Structures are given as structure tokens and as C-alpha cells.
């Protein structure tokens, strides 16, 4: 048995460029994350960082290799099965929040529970608990349009953690925030993911934020290398 919540073995992703051509964005990538571990992923724009997150979440299927999530082989699973596994085991945090403007803070956080058919009372209680932990408990009934960027990202973090995912994937979670607010959001992301017992894989362009992880990997020409860029 392994305690790895996520394991990528020799994962390759080649995009079809037409007329027999293609571009390889992931080239034999090996990566494993244990529960409670935070790993940062760095690399130039277009290096394949977001593609790697999509593969890890089962949103995209690699053209080669194997991806295991919570002991399940995503590469051998149907789209329906991958969606179910992602819903059960993965929380996603994006750079631009992707909140629903017509819903309140509480309702935005509760969306994953509603989709999964969870008990609505327990979902509401959990949403309120998470919002309180990020300092927004007294604004749970407010519309998200009243929030700053940092506050919106806090709501998005709560949404990602609502169902206690074993794996949190964050794609440039501080990329649209100023430096101070970005550090505050990163503090919360690391603190809350670890407190919930989950693993965290996050993409960042910031050497400072990458240094907060237990390990840092960088993507260069489709290959995953240990350590931040020199």
C-alpha cells in the first residue's frame, strides 16, 4: 500500500498540431504527492504547468503513462468515472476565482456539495465554518460582487475545501493579487490544506511562494526537474 494521494508515472502529453505534427508539453513526467505534503510547480509560461494540473485532476487524459488518484487509475477510467473521482477527491483553486456573481459567499462555497447531492444543512454548516476560518464569517450572506480580489480568492479556497478533498490543485492562486494579499492567501492555502490533511500541488511564478512548499519542481521542455530555477 502507498500513502500517495497522487502518482504520475512516465506521463506524456502531446498536442496534435495537424498534418502529422505535434507538440509535446509533458515528456515522461514522474511525480508523487503524499497526504499532508505541499509541492510547488514552477516554469515559464507555456511550459505545461496547467496541463500537468489538468492531467492530475483527470480533466485531460495523457497520451502516455499512468496517473493514479487516491489509488484509482485515471488513465484507465471513463470520463464519467474521472468526473466522479475528481468530485470526491480533488479541490480546485484558480487564478481568477470563477465565483458565481448571482450567489452569496455561502452559496458559492456550497456549490460542490449541492452538485454532489450532499445534505444541504451539513453543507451550509460546513460553508459557514470555512468562511469563519478565513475571516469572512460575518459576510456569508453577502453577494460576491462586494468583495476584493483577495476576499474572492478566500471564498474560492473555502469552496475547494468544502468536501475535505485529499488533493488540492491550485493554478496561480495568487497571480491576480498584489504581493501582500498574495502572501496572505498563500498562508491560508497552506495552513488550511495541511489542517484538513490534504496534499497540495500549486503552480506559481513567485520564487518566494514556491519556497513555502515542502518541495519545488520545475517544468523545462516538458520534463520535470527538482528545485526552483537558478
DSSP 46-115: TSSHHHHHHHHHTSS--SEEEEEETTEEGGGS-HHHHHHHHHHHEEEE-TT----TTSBHHHHHHHHHHH
Domain borders along the chain are: 4-226
Note the pTM of the prediction, 2 decimals: 0.91
The CATH H-level (homologous superfamily) assignment of domain 4-226 is: P-loop containing nucleotide triphosphate hydrolases (3.40.50.300)
DSSP class of residue 226 equals E
Per residue in 162-214, pLDDT (tens digit) is: 999 999 999 999 888 888 888 998 999 999 999 888 999 999 988 899 999 99
> Is-contact 200 189, C-beta < 8 A?
yes
Give phi and psi for 174, each to the nearest 5.
Answer: -115, 10
What's the half-sphere exposure (Cβ side, CA atoms, 13 Å) at 18?
0
Rounded distance between C-alpha atoms, residue 100 and residue 108, angstroms:
6
Per residue in 32-84, pLDDT (tens digit) is: 999 999 999 998 888 889 999 999 999 999 999 999 999 999 999 999 999 99
Amino acid at each position: 500500500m502507498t500513502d500517495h494521494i497522487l502518482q504520475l508515472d512516465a506521463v506524456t502529453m502531446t498536442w496534435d498540431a495537424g498534418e502529422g505534427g505535434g507538440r509535446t508539453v509533458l515528456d515522461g513526467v514522474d511525480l508523487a504527492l503524499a497526504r499532508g505534503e505541499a509541492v510547488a510547480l514552477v516554469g515559464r509560461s507555456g511550459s505545461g504547468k496547467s496541463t500537468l494540473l489538468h492531467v492530475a485532476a483527470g480533466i485531460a487524459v495523457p497520451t502516455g503513462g499512468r496517473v493514479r488518484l487516491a489509488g484509482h487509475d485515471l488513465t484507465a477510467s471513463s470520463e464519467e468515472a474521472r468526473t466522479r473521482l475528481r468530485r470526491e477527491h480533488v479541490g480546485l483553486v484558480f487564478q481568477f476565482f470563477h465565483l458565481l456573481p448571482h450567489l452569496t459567499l455561502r452559496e458559492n462555497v456550497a456549490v460542490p456539495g449541492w452538485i454532489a447531492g450532499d445534505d444541504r444543512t451539513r453543507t451550509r454548516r460546513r460553508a459557514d465554518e470555512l468562511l469563519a476560518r478565513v475571516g469572512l464569517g460575518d459576510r456569508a450572506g453577502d453577494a460576491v460582487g462586494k468583495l476584493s480580489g483577495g476576499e474572492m480568492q478566500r471564498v474560492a479556497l473555502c469552496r475547494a475545501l468544502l468536501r475535505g478533498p485529499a488533493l488540492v490543485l491550485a493554478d496561480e492562486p495568487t497571480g491576480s493579487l498584489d504581493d501582500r494579499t498574495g502572501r496572505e492567501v498563500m498562508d491560508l492555502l497552506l495552513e488550511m490544506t495541511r489542517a484538513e490533511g490534504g496534499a497540495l500541488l500549486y503552480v506559481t511564478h513567485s520564487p518566494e511562494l514556491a519556497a513555502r512548499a515542502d518541495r519545488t519542481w520545475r517544468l523545462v521542455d516538458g520534463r520535470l526537474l527538482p528545485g526552483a530555477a537558478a
